[in-house]
Structure 1
Amino acid sequence: MITGAHVVMFSRNPDADRAFFRDVLRFPSVKAGDGWPIFALPPAEVGIHPTGEGGSHELYLMCDDIDATVKELAGRGVEFSRPVSDEGWGLVAWIRTPAGSELALYEPKHPTAAARRS
């Protein structure tokens, strides 16, 4: 039985990005091998999208109210590399991590599978 999913995020500055997840996003964690934190994520879902050759993966953090969440995170010093935009399927803003990666923050306009978990 599958009990969960583990996301791997590669970083040029893992210490800074780990501190960001811990101190700014305030995700709880446990210590793993070599003391590395493994962060708990909110309920998740996966969408499978078509692509040409090869593929890539993206991490989208979901929220119920993007304007309020952007305001709260900006108050904690989060840098947004792109402002909120309406993509049709949701409202999206892009967070820049301390190491320079981007994470999407989005307010879905569609039903979410994560909300259906019991």
Structure 2
Amino acid sequence: MHVLSSRFLVRPVDPEKTTAFYADVLGLAIYRTFPGGTVFFLGQGFLEVAGQGTPGEGGNLQLWLQVENLPATLAELAGRGVTPDREARREPWGLDEAWISDPDGTRIVLVEIPSDHPLRTDVRDPSGT
């Protein structure tokens, strides 16, 4: 399968409230709008299938958003009235993560990759071959 493009689809209970959350609270840039919807830029898109979801807590969908500076991002969001569902902490896999939720309870994992983490390692062959 050759994927040309991808999106996460969120079907909110209150479209205006949820659209405002992503636009005004998280500050995501708008790619385009259309009757009945808004598409936001979300960096590079990925779909991660991991673990097992719990019904009633935003379903099984989670958004994983990498940020440059997690403490600064949390402070910015606090200024916009966002209280984390779980404060930032270093996970066993070495990433710094905090959790927030959108108005429908969809979990949003905010992630900072520490400078010494293997995800920051350049795996290209230095010889160029």
Q: Give the TM interval when normalised to the shorter protein.
A: 0.7 to 0.9
Q: Which runs of 5+ in 2 are unaligned?
A: 53-59, 121-129
Contact 2:12 2:18 in 1 (8 A): yes
Corresponding position of 1:13: 14
Structure 1 residue 101, shift from structure 2 partner: 2.8
Cα shift at 1:111: 1.2
Partner deviation per Cα, 1:47-77 (whole Å, 9 max, x = no partner): 45477xxxx4421111122111111111122
Counterpart AA for 1:31: T
CA contact (8 A) 1:22 1:28 kept: yes
TM-score (norm 2): 0.68
1:31 alignment partner, SS class: strand
Q: Displaced runs of 4+ in structure 1, greater than 3 A?
A: 44-51
Counterpart of 1:80 in 2: which secondary structure? coil
Bigger proportion of residues as helix: 1
- Structural RMSD (CA): 2.3
CA contact (8 A) 2:61 2:106 kept: no
Q: Percent identity?
A: 28
Matched, 1:61 2:69: no
Give the letter for the 2:99 counterpart: W
Per-residue CA deviations over 1:14-62 (Å, capped at 9, x if unaligned) read 3211111111112122112x241111111234445477xxxx4421111
Q: Which has the higher contact order (CA 8 A, sep 6+)?
A: 1
Gaps of 5+ in 1: 113-118
Q: For residues 27 and 50 of structure 1, do their structure 2 counterparts lie closer, same or farther at Cα, with a shift above 3 Å needed?
A: closer
- TM-score, length-scaled by structure 1: 0.74
